[in-house]
Amino acid sequence: MDLSLLFAGTAGSVPTPKRGLPAILLRAGGERILFDCGEGTQHQLLRSVGLPDLDAIFITHLHLDHWLGLPGMIKSFDMRDRDSQLEIFGPPGFMALFQQVIRPIIGRTKYRLDVGDLDPHEEIGYDGFVIQGFPVKHRVEAFGYAMIEDDRPGRFDAQRATELGVTPGPDFGRLQRGETVDGVTPDQVMGEGRPGRRIVYSGDTMPCQTTEVYAAGADVLIHEATFLEDERARARETGHSTAAQAARLALDAKVKLLALTHLSTRYFPREIRDEARATFENTVVPRDFDAIEVPFPERGEPQLVKYEPEAS
């Protein structure tokens, strides 16, 4: 399964000419899932990869900068005659917000909207993976989200199977599907199972244990870094993190790659990056429209792919 992330918006609280409000597009096989939908998200997607027929949207919390892009996106889908269902989830309180604020603005849609509050640690299943919400520490009730891929079978040892008398061809496939063939059992020719990939998005939060637990061994941790250490007290007051705190969490969780988002206009991106790298070297600060490719571990490490606009 191809797996990647597109950073459609990396600013914190207010947009800038170069950074939109929070929005991250997960592309997992044929699924297209959006985390947060700040004001202008559909335009950000149109400027980069086009507006995909999203399968689901997960909102981290109810602060305006994380969901105000929903009404326009929902209506755009309606005007281009979408007919497939769209799922939209958030932490407790999101459904009431949708019904009281968003629904009166958008009116009816020709396609079905499935809107709901998630319970802490609830899983939503997709083809080959789940999205699981977990509580984090912010000024309001807020969730982070973990994309957890199904474990994969171990490697098939074709040479060993042949030595045991199995004829190459369909019988090899039966063994790999877990069937016994001519007395040869799968455990004789299959290696140990391989854990699936994991991507974790913190949303807006102070450093917290739940994020570290979900991020343990993750391929990619996307963590907010609204402040630097010189304003650590301010970060705590507002329910945010410093770059150094995010880096310490990534180090403790033993993640492969840390991507910092929710950037404040107080700082240059390189200041955020340098503070984090002093603790966790494998840190990146994506720009809008940058992507992270997440291959299977045997094919390489997660890599930042910088956006290169097409020449006009």
Split at pLDDT 50, 70, 90, the class of 178 is confident
- In terms of domains, do 11 and 128 share one? yes
User: Do 257 and 133 share a structural domain?
Assistant: yes
Surface-to-core class of residue 123, CB atoms within 10 Å of its CB (0-12 exposed, 13-18 middle, 19+ buried):
middle
In a domain, 182, yes or no: yes
Give domain status of residue 265, yes or no: yes
Is 52 part of any domain?
A: yes
Residue 124's domain comprises 3-152+194-305
Task: Identify whether residues 217 and 259 lie together within a single domain.
Answer: yes
Q: Examine the domain organization and report whether 250 and 168 are in the same domain.
A: no
pLDDT digits (tens, 9 = 90+) for 275-308: 999 999 999 999 999 999 999 998 999 999 999 8
Task: For residues 136 and 226, state if they share a domain.
Answer: yes
Report, as residue numbers or ranges, the catalytic residues.
65
Same-domain check for residues 103 and 164: no
Distance of CA 202 to the CA centre of its chain: 9
Which residue in 257, 305, 264 sits closest to 283, CA to CA? 257
Whether residues 91 and 209 fall in one domain: yes
Domain boundary among 141, 168, 188: 188
Are both 183 and 269 inside the same structural domain?
no
Q: Which of 207, 201, 300 is nearest to 258 (CA)?
A: 201
Residues 43 and 183 in one domain: no
**CA dist 207 to 135, 138, 157, 246, Å?**
12, 10, 44, 7
In a domain, 311, yes or no: no
Q: According to the 3-state scheme, what is the secondary structure of the chain?
A: CCEEEEEEECECCCCCCCCCCCEEEEEECCEEEEECCCCCHHHHHHHHCCCCCCCEEECCCCCHHHCCCHHHHHHHHHHCCCCCCEEEEECCCHHHHHHHHHHHHHCCCCCCEEEEECCCCCEEEECCEEEEEEEEECCCCEEEEEEEECCECCCECHHHHHHCCCCCCHHHHHHHCCCCECCECHHHCECCCECCCEEEECCCCECCHHHHHHHCCCCEEEEECCECHHHHHHHHHHCCCEHHHHHHHHHHHCCCEEEEECECCCCCHHHHHHHHHCCCCCEECCCCCCEEECCCHHHCCCEEECCCCCCC
Annotated binding site for Zn(2+): 61, 63, 65-66, 138, 204, 262
Q: Are residues 126 and 34 in the same domain?
A: yes
The predicted-structure confidence for 196-235, as pLDDT tens digits, reads as follows 999 999 999 999 999 999 999 999 999 999 999 999 999 9
Task: For residue 26, list its beta bridge partners.
Answer: 5, 33
Q: Are residues 48 and 170 in the same domain?
A: no
pLDDT computed for residue 311 by the predictor: 59
Q: Which two tokens stand for residue 221?
A: 């941790």
Domain count of the fold of the chain? 2
The alpha-carbon radius of gyration of the chain (Å, integer) is: 21
The rounded distance, in Å, linking the Cα atoms of 285 and 243 is 10
Residue 225's alpha-carbon distances to 83, 114, 229, in angstroms, are 38, 32, 10
CATH number of the CATH domain containing 103? 3.60.15.10
Any residues with CB less than 8 A from the CB of 100 and at least 6 apart, and which? none
In a domain, 312, yes or no: no
Query: Is 213 a member of any domain?
Result: yes
User: Is residue 63 in some structural domain?
Assistant: yes
More confident residue, 148 or 188: 148
- Residue 248 CB contacts under 8 Å (≥ 6 apart), including other chains: 207, 279, 280
User: Per the domain annotation, does 248 fall within a domain?
Assistant: yes
| Binding site members | 61, 63, 65-66, 138, 204, 262
Query: Taking residues 123-128, what's their average pLDDT?
Result: 97
pLDDT beyond 70 at 69: yes
pLDDT confidence of residue 285: 98
- pTM, 2 dp: 0.91
Pair 32, 180 in one domain? no
